A and B are shown apart, each in its own frame.
Chain A
Amino acid sequence: MAALWRGRHRWKRTNCLHVLTRNLTGKYDYDLVVIGGGSGGLACSKEAAQLGQKVAVLDHVEPSVKGTKWGLGGTCVNVGCIPKKLMHQAALLGTAVKDAKKFGWQISEPICHDWSTMADAVQNHVRSLNWGHRVQLQDKKVKYLNIKGSLLDEHTVKGLTKAGKETILTAKNIVIATGGRPKYPTNIPGAMEHGITNVALECAGFLTGIGLDTTVMVRSIALRGFDQQMAGLVTDYMEAYGTKFAWQCVPKRVDKLSSGVLQVTWMDNNTGNEHKDTYDSVLWAVGRAPETKALGLDKLGVQLDKETGKIVVGADESTSVPNIYAFGDIGEGRPELTPTAIKAGKLLARRLARHSAELMNYDSVPTTVFTPLEYGCVGLSEEEAEKRLGKDGIEVYHAFYKPLEFTVAERDASQCYLKVICERDGDQKILGLHFTGPNAGEVTQGFALAFQCGATYSHLLQTVGIHPTCAEELTKVNITKRSGLDATVTGC
Chain B
Amino acid sequence: MTQQWLSLDPPIPHTHTHTHTHGCSFLVMAILAQLSRTSRSACWFRHRKQLFSSFRRHALIRRSMASDPAATDTTRFDFLVIGGGSGGLAGARRASELGAATAVIESHKLGGTCVNVGCVPKKVMWNAAVHAEYLHDHNDYGFDVGNVRFSWETLKAKRDAYIGHLNRIYRSNLDKAKIQTIQGHARFTSDPEPTVEVNGKKYTAPHILIATGGQPSVLCDDEVPGASLGITSDGFFELETLPKRSVIVGAGYIAVEMAGILSTLGSKTSLVIRQTTVLRNFDSLISTNCTKEMQNSGVDLWKNSQVKSVRKTDKGLEVTIATKDPEKKNEEEKIRTIQEVDCLLWAIGRQPNSSGLNIGEMIVDTDEKGHIVVDEFQNTSRAGIYAVGDVCGKALLTPVAIAAGRKLAHRLFEGKKDSKLDYSTIPTVVFSHPPIGTVGLTEDEAIKARGKENVKIYKTSFTPMYHAITSRKSQCIMKLVCVGKEEKVVGLHMQGLGCDEMLQGFTVAIKMGATKADFDKTIAIHPTSSEEFVTMR
A464 touching B159, Cβ below 8 Å: no
Q: Does residue B361 face the partner (Cβ distance < 8 Å to A)?
A: no
CA distance A3 to B476 in the complex (A): 13
A466 vs B398: C-alpha distance when bound (angstroms): 8
A326 at the interface (CB under 8 A from B): no
Are B525 and A492 in touch, CB under 8 angstroms? no
Complex CA distance for A337 and B533, rounded to whole angstroms: 18
**B92-128 toward A: CB 8 Å interface, digit per residue (1/0)?**
0000000000000000000100110001100110011
Complex Cα distance, B403 from A89, in Å, reads: 36
Task: Pick the interface stretch among B58-66, B182-190, B299-307, B423-431.
Answer: B423-431
Given contacts A81-B527, A449-B506, contact A104 B521 (CB under 8 A): no
A105 and B149 contacting across the interface, CB-CB below 8 Å: yes
Nearest CB of B to A244, in Å:
23
Q: Chain A, 405-431, contact with B by CB distance < 8 Å: what is the 0/1 string?
A: 101100000000000000000000000
Q: Is the CB of A467 within 8 A of B427?
A: no
> Is A483 interfacial (CB 8 A cutoff)?
no
B423's nearest neighbour on chain A, judged by CB, is A464
B142 and A442 contacting across the interface, CB-CB below 8 Å: no
Cα–Cα, bound, A113→B6 (Å):
21
Q: Are A104 and B128 in contact (CB under 8 A)?
A: yes
- A459 contacts the other chain (Cβ, under 8 Å)? yes
Q: Is A469 an interface residue (CB 8 A)?
A: yes
* Interface residue B462 (Cβ < 8 Å from any Cβ of A): yes
Q: Which of A120-128, A176-184, A295-303 contacts B (4 or more CB under 8 A)?
A: A120-128
- Contact yes or no, A115 B399, CB < 8 A: no
Asked if B120 and A441 make an inter-chain contact with CB atoms under 8 angstroms apart, the answer reads no
Roughly how many angstroms separate A100 CA and B131 CA in the complex, as a whole number? 6
Kindly report which residue of chain A lies nearest to residue B462, judged by CB atoms.
A2
- Min CB distance, B164 to chain A, in Å? 12
A463, B131: Cβ atoms closer than 8 Å: no
Q: Nearest CB to that of B529 among chain A residues?
A: A442
List B contacts of A389 (CB < 8 A): none
A108 interfacial contact with B, CB 8 Å: yes
Question: Would A445 and B504 count as touching, CB distance under 8 A?
Answer: no
Instruction: Evaluate whether A121 and B141 lie within 8 angstroms (CB atoms) in the complex, with A104-B151, A106-B149 already known.
Output: yes
Say whether B369 faces chain A, with CB atoms less than 8 Å apart: no
Tell me whether B524 and A450 are in contact (CB under 8 A): no
Most buried by A among B146, B425, B525: B525
**Residue B463 contacts which of A2, A439, A470, A471 (CB distance < 8 angstroms)?**
A2
Interface check A342, CB cutoff 8 A = yes
Q: Which of A10, A90, A442, A471 has the most CB of B within 10 A?
A: A442
CB–CB B534/A445 < 8 A: yes
Shortest distance in angstroms between A26's beta carbon and chain B's nearest beta carbon? 31
For A469, what are the chain B residues with a Cβ–Cβ distance below 8 Å? 429, 500-501, 504
Q: Measured between alpha carbons, how far is A252 from B38 in the docked complex, in Å?
A: 73
**Minimal beta-carbon separation of B17 from chain A (angstroms):** 12
Q: How large is the interface on A (under 10, 10 to 19, 20 to 34, 35 or more residues)?
A: 35 or more
Give the Cβ gap from A435 to chain B, nearest Cβ, in Å.
10
Which one of A29-37, A281-289, A306-314, A359-367 is at the B interface? Answer: A359-367
Q: Is B501's CB under 8 angstroms from A471's CB? A: yes
A447 to B508, CA, bound (A): 7
Q: Is A117 an interface residue (CB 8 A)?
A: yes
Complex interface bits, B137-160 against A, C-beta within 8 A gives 1, otherwise 0: 111111111111111111100110
Decide if B469 touches A122 in the complex (CB within 8 Å): yes
- Per the bound structure, the CA–CA distance linking A117 and B159 in Å amounts to 35
Stretch at the interface among B194-202, B248-256, B341-349, B510-518: B510-518
Chain B interface residue number, banded: 35 or more
Which of B68-76, B165-173, B207-215, B446-454 is found at the contact surface with chain A? B165-173
Measured between beta carbons, the chain A residues less than 8 angstroms from B514 are 449-450, 453
Which residues does chain A contribute within 8 Å of B132, judged by CB atoms? 105
Determine whether B465 belongs to the interface, using a CB cutoff of 8 Å to chain A: yes
Q: Quick check: is A102 within 8 A (CB to CB) of the other chain?
A: yes
- B507 contacts partner chain A, Cβ-Cβ < 8 Å: yes
Contact of A103 among B131, B399, B527 (CB under 8 A): B131
The answer for the CA separation of A442 and B134 in the assembled complex, in Å, is: 19
Are A446 and B509 CB-contacts (below 8 A) given A2-B463, A464-B426?
Answer: yes
Does the CB pair A467–B508 fall under 8 Å?
A: no
A464 touches B403 (CB 8 A): yes
Complex alpha-carbon distance, A470 and B501, angstroms: 7
Binary per-residue interface labels of chain A (117-148) against chain B in the complex, 1 for a CB within 8 Å, 0 otherwise: 11101101100000000000000000000000
A residues within 8 A CB of B528? 368, 441-442, 445
Among residues of B, the one whose C-beta sits closest to the C-beta of A108 is B146
Min C-beta distance of B493 to chain A, whole Å:
14
- A54–B150 CA distance with the chains assembled, in angstroms: 60
Mark contacts of A470-488 with chain B using CB atoms, 8 A cut-off: 1 yes-contact digit, 0 otherwise: 1110110000000000000
Contact at A76–B526, with CB atoms within 8 Å? yes
Instruction: Look across to chain B and name the residue whose beta carbon is closest to the beta carbon of A115.
Output: B142
Question: A342 to nearest B CB, angstroms?
Answer: 7
Which residues of the other chain, A, contact B402 by a CB distance below 8 angstroms? 465, 492
Q: Does B490 make an interface contact (CB < 8 A)? A: no
Is A448's CB within 8 Å of the partner chain B? yes
Residues of chain B lying within 8 A (CB to CB) of residue A339: 523-526, 531, 535
Q: Is the CB of A337 within 8 A of B537?
A: no
Residues of B within 8 A of A467 (CB): 114, 119, 397-399
Chain A residues with CB under 8 Å of B119's CB are 467-468, 492
Within 8 Å by CB of B525, from A102, A118, A364, A448, lies A448
Q: Name B519's closest neighbour in chain A (CB-CB).
A: A449
Asked whether B506 lies within 8 Å of A466 as measured between CB atoms, the reply is no
In the assembled complex, the Cα of A93 lies from the Cα of B133 at a distance in Å of: 11
Q: How far is the CB of A96 from chain B (nearest CB, A)?
A: 5
A107 to B148, CA, bound (A): 5
B366 at the interface (CB under 8 A from A): no
Chain A CB count within 10 A is highest, among B400, B463, B468, for B468
CA distance A3 to B460 in the complex (A): 9
Residue A455, interface by CB 8 Å: yes
Are A6 and B146 within 8 A (Cβ)? no
Instruction: Kindly provide the distance from the CB of A106 to the nearest chain B CB, expressed in whole angstroms.
Output: 5
Expressed in whole angstroms, the minimum distance between the Cβ of A393 and any Cβ of chain B is: 23
Would you give the shortest CB distance from B264 to chain A, in whole angstroms? 12
Q: Indicate if the CB atoms of A121 and B140 lie closer than 8 Å.
A: yes
Cα A472 to Cα B134 with chains together (Å): 24
Query: Which residues does chain B contribute within 8 Å of A492, judged by CB atoms?
Result: 86, 111, 114-115, 119-120, 398, 402
Does B422 reach chain A (CB closer than 8 Å)? yes
**Beyond A86-B465, A459-B508, A464-B397, is A106–B3 a contact (Cβ under 8 Å)?**
yes
CB distance from B393 to the nearest CB of A (A): 17
Q: Which residue of A lies closest to B151 (CB)?
A: A104
Complex CA gap A447/B400 in Å reads 20
Determine if B124 and A450 form an interchain contact, defined as CB atoms under 8 angstroms apart.
no
Residue B522 interfacial (CB < 8 Å): yes
A338 at the interface (CB under 8 A from B): yes
Task: Please report the C-alpha to C-alpha distance between residue A42 and residue B521 in the assembled complex, in whole angstroms.
Answer: 20
Question: Residue-by-residue, is B460-503 near A (CB-CB < 8 Å gives 1, otherwise 0)?
Answer: 11110110110000001000000000000000000000101111
Complex Cα gap A483–B114 (Å): 31
Interface contact A464-B137, CB-CB below 8 Å: no
Q: Evaluate whether A93 and B141 lie within 8 angstroms (CB atoms) in the complex, with A107-B148, A446-B530, A471-B504 already known.
A: yes
Minimum distance in angstroms from A452 CB to a CB of chain B: 5
Q: 29 A-B residue contacts at CB 8 Å?
A: A1-B468, A2-B476, A89-B465, A94-B143, A99-B131, A100-B135, A103-B127, A104-B154, A107-B145, A117-B139, A121-B469, A338-B526, A340-B523, A364-B522, A366-B523, A366-B525, A439-B498, A442-B528, A446-B505, A446-B507, A446-B508, A447-B508, A452-B521, A459-B512, A463-B425, A463-B508, A464-B403, A471-B504, A491-B169
* Residues of chain A whose beta carbon lies under 8 Å from any beta carbon of chain B: 1-3, 6, 10, 76, 81-82, 85-86, 89-90, 93-94, 96-97, 99-100, 102-108, 111-119, 121-122, 124-125, 210, 337-340, 342-343, 361, 364-368, 376, 404-405, 407-408, 438-439, 441-450, 452-455, 459-460, 462-472, 474-475, 490-492
Q: With A2-B476, A105-B149, A404-B124 given, can you name 6 additional A-B contacts, CB distance below 8 Å?
A: A82-B465, A89-B141, A93-B143, A443-B501, A462-B511, A467-B398
